[in-house]
Amino acid sequence: MPKVIYIENNGTEHQVDLPLGATLMEGAVQNDIKGIVAECGGSCMCATCHIYVDEQFMGLLPEMEEEENEMLEGATAERMSNSRLGCQVRISNKLDGVIVRIPEKQ
């Protein structure tokens, strides 16, 4: 199983094994990572699973759909070039070791 490294806003780091096909949001929720609210349960309707993906992995992610882009426009935390919604990123072998930072607020 690929490893994901979640880093909370306070610097607390969690290394988690995720099954292939799980989303980064699901991994955070199932492993009690603080800062991921996931109000809509992964429907790309709320932007409360906003994450910052380490730049070295950005080229490995699927292209952002318009729906995700629109949700990020209204995100509470600052949108950055490496912002994604965790519900829209599914884990694959090529993302093994991906580093995900959690914003201060959702």
CATH code of 66's domain: 3.10.20.30
Residue 46 lies in a domain: yes
Residue 28 lies in a domain: yes
Residue 87 lies in a domain: yes
Q: What percent of the chain has pLDDT over 90?
A: 100
Residue 32 lies in a domain: yes
Q: Which domain does 89 fall in, by range?
A: 3-101
Residue 106 lies in a domain: no
Residue 62 lies in a domain: yes
Q: Note the pLDDT tens digit of each residue in 12-58.
A: 999 999 999 999 999 999 999 999 999 999 999 999 999 999 999 99
Residue 66 lies in a domain: yes
Residue 45 lies in a domain: yes
Contact 49, 73 (CB under 8 A): no
Q: Classify residue 65 by its DSSP letter.
A: P
Mean of the per-residue pLDDT values of the chain: 97
How many domains are there within the chain?
1
Mean pLDDT value across residues 70-90: 97
Mean pLDDT value across residues 79-97: 98
Contact 60, 95 (CB under 8 A): yes
For residue 80, how many other CB atoms are within 10 A of its CB? 14
Q: Which of 39, 34, 41, 37 lies closest to 7, judged by CA?
A: 34
pLDDT computed for residue 25 by the predictor: 99
Tokens of 41: 């349960």
Q: What confidence category does residue 104 fall into, taking pLDDT thresholds of 50, 70 and 90?
A: very high
Q: Please give the torsion angle defined by the CA atoms of residues 16, 21, 26 and 27, in that order, rounded to the nearest 10 degrees.
A: 0
